A = this chain, B = another copy of it.
Amino acid sequence: MTTAQLTKSFPGLERALYEELGKEGQLKEFREGEIILRKGQFIRSAVLLLEGTIKLYQEDEDGGEFFMYYIQPGEACAVSMICSHEQETSSVLATAATDSTVLLIPLSCMDQWMSHYKSWRQFVIQAYRSRYQELLNTISEIAFRNMDDRLEFYLRKQVKQFGKIIRFTHQEIANDLNSSREVISRLMKKMENNGWVILHRNSIEWIKDDFNAA
């Protein structure tokens, strides 16, 4: 891992920190669909995402999985940073939404770098901030909004992440929203009638392009 490569994903860090990252970090690849972090798993290193997309879920005792947010290249998995500091286990599920490359940082480095590098402190704080914010958004959605709003919100997230062709089945969407296939089909049909989407087999095409309005 060269400094140049790291700079692309994680701009603005101190020169010496890039070298540490390259020296201490361990590269690991995950294929689409693989589980990166399982609920209840111990974590021995912080996870920085170099390439790909990670999908974060909250898991229920009885099999439910609730999608919370995506992690982008250049971002870190806040849970991994949190857990790596004590002997606590992950309470979330992280999977590779696409083939992904991550950099694993031994937890022993975390505290050292915190004291040495201002940019690392900022990076960590920023990681927490944005993840915390995502959770707040998620709470807002499920506490205050109905299924139709939430579905729209969900679809917009996919479009932002992967483009206007959303390659999910209704069943997969239902799982992500902790709803049922029929409900999603119904709402989706309504959206199609409103001219927001075109429904295909195995995919949905987002055609509403006023990308801001409610």
Contacts and interface: CB of A to CB of B under 8 A. Distances in A.
Interface of A: 58, 60, 64, 66, 68, 78-79, 81-83, 85-86, 88, 91-92, 111, 114-116, 118, 121-122, 125-126, 128-129, 131-133, 135-136, 138-140, 142-144, 178
A interface: dominant SS? helix
B82 A128 contact: yes
Copies in the complex: 2
Nearest to A79: B132
B135 A135 contact: yes
A121 B111 contact: yes
A142 B144 contact: no
Contact of A133 (B91, B126, B129, B142): B91
Given A85-B125, A125-B82, A125-B85, A66 B136 contact: no
A122 B107 CA distance: 13
A163 B116 CA distance: 45
Contacts of A78: 128, 132
Contacts of A82: 125, 128-129, 132-133
A91 B135 CA distance: 11
A36 B133 CA distance: 19
Given A66-B140, A111-B118, A143-B178, 15 more contacts: A64-B143, A66-B144, A78-B128, A79-B132, A81-B125, A82-B125, A82-B129, A83-B129, A91-B133, A115-B121, A128-B128, A132-B132, A135-B135, A135-B136, A142-B142
